[in-house]
Amino acid sequence: MRETADVAIVGYGPVGAALAILLGQRGWRVRVLERWPEPYPLPRAVHFDHEIARVLQAAGVADTLAGRTEPGSIYEWRNARGETLLRIGREHASISGFPESNMFHQPELESILDARVHALTNVSVRRGCEVTQVWDDGAHAHVVASGPDGDGLEVEARYAVGCDGAQSFVRGALGAGWHDLGFHFDWLVVDVVPGVRREWAPQNWQLCDPARPTTIVSGGPGRRRWEFMRLPGETREELDREESAWRLLAPWGIDPGNAKLERHALYTFRACWADRWRRGRLFVAGDAAHLMPPFAGQGLCAGLRDAANLAWKLDLALAGRAGDALLDSYESERAPHVQRATLLSISLGRVICVADPAEADLRDRQMVAEQATRQSPVSAPFPPLGPGCFADGAGARTLFVQDRVRRGEKTGLFDDVVGRGFALVSPVGDPAAALDPELRAWFESLPGISAHIAPDGAVEDPAGGYARWFAEHGAAVVLQRPDFHVFGSAPALEGASELVAALRKQIERGLA
């Protein structure tokens, strides 16, 4: 059987599903091939941050997710004596309009994404398909798979994206190397459904005890997760047993009489990344492009950032509006960001993965002293994106704010009230009025929207989030990309014309 598509996606985890939605919403024909015949029913990832909540909002699932996550803004690290070594997070609202951190149940998220995919008639999913060949003939990407009944299937697409995990077939097809940073620690991951509601304070934390480094976090509403590090001299086989899980849970007051053991699995936490994310019409995203330890809670987040970044670039390329350089910017922007997030995760891991009492004591004395001087939790220092499709100006390459706004009788988050995509925003006037007719028509055709956000503007800023952002950055106008990052800003409203002209030049660079 042979099918055609605009984009073929290999892998139907959250990253593949989100990418399919973001492309399908833009009208493109998407074919998804998934190896497993049924969804995986057990928990895996349990955290996504505020930026990813906004990506999910863009995918049209935020309302369905409401009430199915719980905020976990503060992440605390304590030693065996109960002393606080580190507190990470923010206790106030995030820049994206959602809680800083959100704890969830992955099977539930995947079910919600799947329902959204199936609501798009131009997106189809084939399960039970083992991909056996992937190649790029210069004009099309080809994906060949064996179906559940042994029948052959070939999808000819304009582009193909591998969202097919750490053992990615697509990554091999595009000839990418796999850099392993040598951070390897085995941990037993245990997911529990308590039978009795219990308040956990702190909700999410790390026990930095050399006798057994342990993670204790929410697994989403009504669920808890523990992660226990394998100690020196302890075999994988003896740790990865149900009786071992119950034994390690016992000190926390969790036993078969008051809880259900949903899953236990031994994982090797690793730090790896691909040295190539694109070759011609082939791309990789998510775990196919990078793996990181879970200590910063950014593994799934990184993959969904890939999807958000790649979707709008493929959209413009498929429409014949973007040159090849824009597609190259996917890797140049995302790879440095992922590498820095991975190094942050490793640095946090080196704090907790200490099984030597003397080394732990030295760590504790230093970190307790540092913590005593802090007035508030530290913020995880996430970097800007790498170089790519950006102009100059304050805030370029970083996330732009989303806050609650009011337009007419409607109040809500900006993306829901005003719209999403490319956005020109200003607190001093209508930025579209600063564009000449031809440039304005080009921008609106992307599509791009404009908004004057001010007490006397067409869009009001009741919480003052936009006023604060512009004041902090000394800007009068900003151009936001569809992945919510600042393309560039200018100190005067007249700079809107230069920003849009620079965007056009960046998008069309290399266009035949």
Provide the 10 A C-beta neighbour count for residue 253: 11
Nearest to 119 by CA among 64, 47, 156, 158: 64
Cα dihedral sign for 65, 101, 226, 188? positive
- What is the predicted pLDDT for the residue at 187? 98
Please tell me which residue, 379 or 427, carries the higher pLDDT value.
Answer: 427
Residue 88: pLDDT over 60 = yes
Nearest to 494 by CA among 443, 431, 442, 444: 431
Confidence of residue 512 (pLDDT cuts 50, 70, 90): low
The sheet carrying 70-71 orders its strands as 47-49, 101-103, 70-71
**Strand-pair partners of 186:** 268
- What is the predicted pLDDT for the residue at 150? 78
Residue 92: pLDDT over 90 = no
Q: Model confidence over 348-359: pLDDT tens digits?
A: 999 999 999 999
Tokens 């049924």 sit on residue: 38
Please tell me which residue, 344 or 93, carries the higher pLDDT value.
Answer: 344
Residue 114: pLDDT over 90 = yes
Residue 392: pLDDT over 90 = no
Q: What's the average model confidence in pLDDT over 399-422? A: 97
Residue 380: pLDDT over 80 = no
Q: Specify the CATH architecture of the domain 2-70+103-177+273-326.
A: 3-Layer(bba) Sandwich (3.50)
CATH 3.40.30.120: which residues of the chain? 404-508
Please tell me the chain's helix, strand, coil percentages from 3-state DSSP, rounded to the nearest 5: 35, 30, 40
Q: What's the average model confidence in pLDDT over 27-45? A: 96
Confidence of residue 192 (pLDDT cuts 50, 70, 90): very high
Q: How far apart are CA 125 and CA 127, in angstroms?
A: 6
Tokens 């304590």 sit on residue: 78
Domain 404-508 belongs to what topology? Glutaredoxin (3.40.30)
Q: Model confidence over 428-452: pLDDT tens digits?
A: 999 999 999 999 999 999 999 999 9
Quickly list H helices, 2-105. Answer: 14-24, 50-58, 62-65
**Strand-pair partners of 227:** 189, 215
- What is the predicted pLDDT for the residue at 454? 93
Give the CA dihedral 406, 410, 416, 418, nearest 10 degrees: -60
Cα dihedral sign for 387, 389, 391, 397? negative
Confidence of residue 381 (pLDDT cuts 50, 70, 90): low
- What is the predicted pLDDT for the residue at 374? 83
Residue 73: pLDDT over 90 = no
Those residues with Cβ within 8 angstroms of residue 427's Cβ, 6 or more apart along the chain or in another chain: 452, 453, 454, 457, 461, 466, 467, 470, 476
Task: Indicate the residue type of 41.
Answer: P
Confidence of residue 151 (pLDDT cuts 50, 70, 90): confident
Q: Model confidence over 241-276: pLDDT tens digits?
A: 999 999 999 999 999 999 999 999 999 999 999 999
Tell me which H or E stretch contains 487: strand 486-490
Those residues with Cβ within 8 angstroms of residue 180's Cβ, 6 or more apart along the chain or in another chain: 270, 271, 272
CATH 3.50.50.60: which residues of the chain? 2-70+103-177+273-326
What percent of the chain is modeled with pLDDT above 70? 99
pTM: 0.97
Give the CA dihedral 235, 236, 242, 245, nearest 10 degrees: 80
Q: Cis (ω within 30 of 0) for the bond into 447?
A: yes
Nearest to 272 by CA among 176, 201, 358: 176
Task: State residue 466 phi and psi, 5-degree precision.
Answer: -75, -40
Mean of all residue pLDDT scores within the chain: 95
Residue 93: pLDDT over 90 = no
- What is the predicted pLDDT for the residue at 510? 76
Q: What's the average model confidence in pLDDT over 110-121? A: 98
